Amino acid sequence: MINLRDHIGQALDRPITLAVVGAGARGTAYAELAARLPDRARVVAVAEPREAARQEFAVRHALAPERVFRDWKEFAALGRIADAVIVATLDADHLAPAEVFAQQGYDILLEKPVAPTEAQTVAIGAAAARTGAMIAVCHVMRYTPYTRRLREVLPRIGEIVSVEHLEPVGWYHFAHSFVRGNWRREDESAFALLAKACHDIDWLSHVVSRKAEQVSSFGGLRHFRADQRPPGAADRCVECPIERECPYSAVRLYRDGLRNGGTKQYFTRVMTGGTLTEEAVTEALAEGPYGRCVYASDNDAVDHQVVTIEYEGGITAAFTMTAFTPLENRHTKLFGTKGQLTGDGRFIHIYEFLSEETTTIDTSLDGSSAAEGHAGGDAALIESFVSALHEGRPELILSGIQESVDSHRVVFAAERARHTATVQTLSNGEHPQ
């Protein structure tokens, strides 16, 4: 086995070997992308508690039976058996495997968020520093062709003064993930800003390229509550007499995904555990959590939040995350001393004050959601991670653990600010115990 730090500037004469811990939607997607690079990477092991998902993954990647594990502890018990490991477990289960794998010598690709608490996030950063393990975080927005091009043309608007950024979660995405799904409750996963928008806070730090100094935030759970429930609504959509009048109908969402494909099929696959049949959808709607009325769930995730950040030098950013949008690309405006840049994840419009002219750049790729590959970010992340390890090029890793710890601290500060109605000051180097 070999680590990135052992062959800086020298390419390996073999593919790197990868193990995947957590064969859910993200782990499976990353493994598929790595499998497209057979000259540079080979998936050799999986750890996944769900038997069907575990076996399907093993068959897809032709894994030997002795390299298929029921959980990460069973996998770790063998010691190091690959060059690197992708940790894509549930958010609450990142700390222990990350610490163990770092100690065992693995280089690690860690799904975001790093961890559900600030103390755990800092602990993972400390594990990397203590062991020398290279830990990269799946902040895919840093890797998109759109982001790379945006950073290249930023000098055309002079010095950044302020930023507006919108994360339009999308009404049916929010209902699926944050009302009915795995991220509906803070005590079972992570608060919504961390789970959904740590991408965005990290991206703002990447674009502004300054340390955040102060943070404030407001927001809450406005709509998906029992007191907003329409008269006559049933506890489950399949039994509801007003289901056809409800934009959040689970019946419509998941059967559309089954029959018509597109981004909704991704959510249908999640709700059935991967089986795309009428029977599986019907059963999940009748018995599973994804068939519940959005006003009769046990959710507490906020459905809207605004965050304001002041960076070094007085640069300000205003960020909005909201459920109440179409499922579309993020929208950003950067205001500079020489012009304005407007972007939507694909198109970049640069208006320059001197010429009073607008230049448009098309970075066209796929859509911005997870179902669509995060505008090329998923593929570019895996390409960068694999190439960095294979070719000995650490500069290809754009989302190292320390940068991610720093941007996560902004997210945790914003949530404290929301709960306490205060402005939080970030002191560099000071972390919670």
CATH number, domain of 179, equals 3.30.360.10
Indicate the Cα dihedral angle 409, 400, 203, 334, nearest 10°: 110
Helix pair 145-153, 192-208: axis angle to 10 deg: 40
User: How many CB atoms sit inside 10 A of residue 166's CB?
Assistant: 19
How far apart are alpha carbons 381 and 37 in whole angstroms?
Answer: 13
Judgement on whether residues 65 and 164 belong to the same structural domain of the protein = no
- The answer to whether residue 350 is domain-embedded is yes
Predicted confidence at residue 299, as pLDDT, reads: 97
Q: What is the pTM of this model?
A: 0.91
Residues whose CB falls within 8 Å of the CB of residue 73, separated by 6 or more in sequence, listed in order = none
352 shares a domain with 258: no
Residues 219, 154: one domain?
yes
What is d(CA 164, CA 200) in angstroms, rounded to the nearest whole number? 11
Q: Is residue 321 part of a domain?
A: yes
Is the Cβ–Cβ distance between 289 and 181 less than 8 Å?
A: yes
Q: Is residue 390 part of a domain?
A: no
Distance, CA of 352 to CA of 360 (rounded, Å): 12
Does residue 431 lie within any of the structural domains? no
Strand 331-336 versus strand 160-168 pairing type? antiparallel
Taking Cα atoms as reference points, which of 136, 167, 147 lies closest to residue 208? 147
Phi, psi of 185 (to 5 degrees): -125, 135
Coil, helix or strand for 339?
strand
Last residue of a domain, one of 137, 153, 185: 137
Q: Are residues 403 and 335 in the same domain?
A: yes
The answer to whether residue 393 sits within a structural domain is: no
Which of 73, 106, 137 delimits the end of a domain? Answer: 137
Q: Longest C-alpha distance within the chain, in Å?
A: 67
The count of domains in the chain is 3
Give the separation between CA 323 and CA 299, rounded to whole angstroms.
14
For residue 411, the model assigns a pLDDT of: 98
Q: Tell me, what's the pLDDT at 415?
A: 97
Any idea what the CATH number is for the domain that residue 117 is in? 3.40.50.720
Distance CA 8, CA 58 (A): 32
Structural domain harbouring 48: 4-137
Between the CA of residue 201 and those of 24, 165, 225, 243, 279, what are the distances in Å? 25, 9, 27, 36, 40
The whole-angstrom separation of Cα 429 and Cα 23 is 35
> Do residues 23 and 68 share a domain?
yes
Whether residues 195 and 281 share a domain: the answer is no
Same domain, 361 and 304: yes
Q: Kindly give, in sequence order, each residue whose CB lies less than 8 Å from that of residue 239, ignoring residues fewer than 6 positions away.
A: none
State the pLDDT at residue 140: 95
Per-residue pLDDT of the chain (433 residues; tens, 9 = 90+): 899 999 999 999 999 999 999 998 899 999 999 999 999 999 999 999 999 999 999 999 999 999 999 999 999 999 999 999 999 998 889 999 999 999 999 999 999 999 999 999 999 999 999 999 999 999 999 999 999 999 999 999 999 999 999 999 999 999 999 999 989 999 888 899 999 999 999 999 999 999 999 999 999 999 999 999 999 999 999 999 999 999 999 999 999 999 998 889 999 999 998 899 999 999 999 999 999 999 999 999 999 999 999 999 999 999 999 999 999 999 999 999 999 999 999 999 999 999 999 999 999 865 444 444 445 789 999 999 999 999 999 999 999 999 999 999 999 999 999 999 999 999 764 443 3
- What pLDDT does residue 371 have? 45
With 0-12 / 13-18 / 19 or more C-beta atoms within 10 angstroms meaning exposed / middle / buried, residue 399 is: buried
**In which order are the strands placed within the sheet that holds 316-322?**
357-362, 347-352, 339-343, 331-336, 160-168, 316-322, 304-311, 212-220, 424-425
pLDDT of residue 430: 45
Residues 160 and 48 in one domain: no
Asked if residue 353 and residue 326 are part of one domain, the reply reads yes
Would 380 be classed as within a structural domain? no
Looking at the structure, tell me whether residues 164 and 46 fall in a common domain.
no
Q: How many CB atoms lie within 10 A of CB 357?
A: 10
Judge if 334 and 254 occupy the same domain.
no
Measured between its terminal Cα atoms, the distance across the chain in Å is 34
In a domain, 119, yes or no: yes
- Alpha carbon distance 107, 86 (integer Å): 9
Domain boundary among 102, 137, 172: 137
Domain assignment present for 391? no
- 344, 202: one domain: yes
Residue 433's pLDDT is 31
Please state the separation of Cα 125 from the chain's center in Å: 18
Instruction: Supply the pLDDT for residue 375.
Output: 59
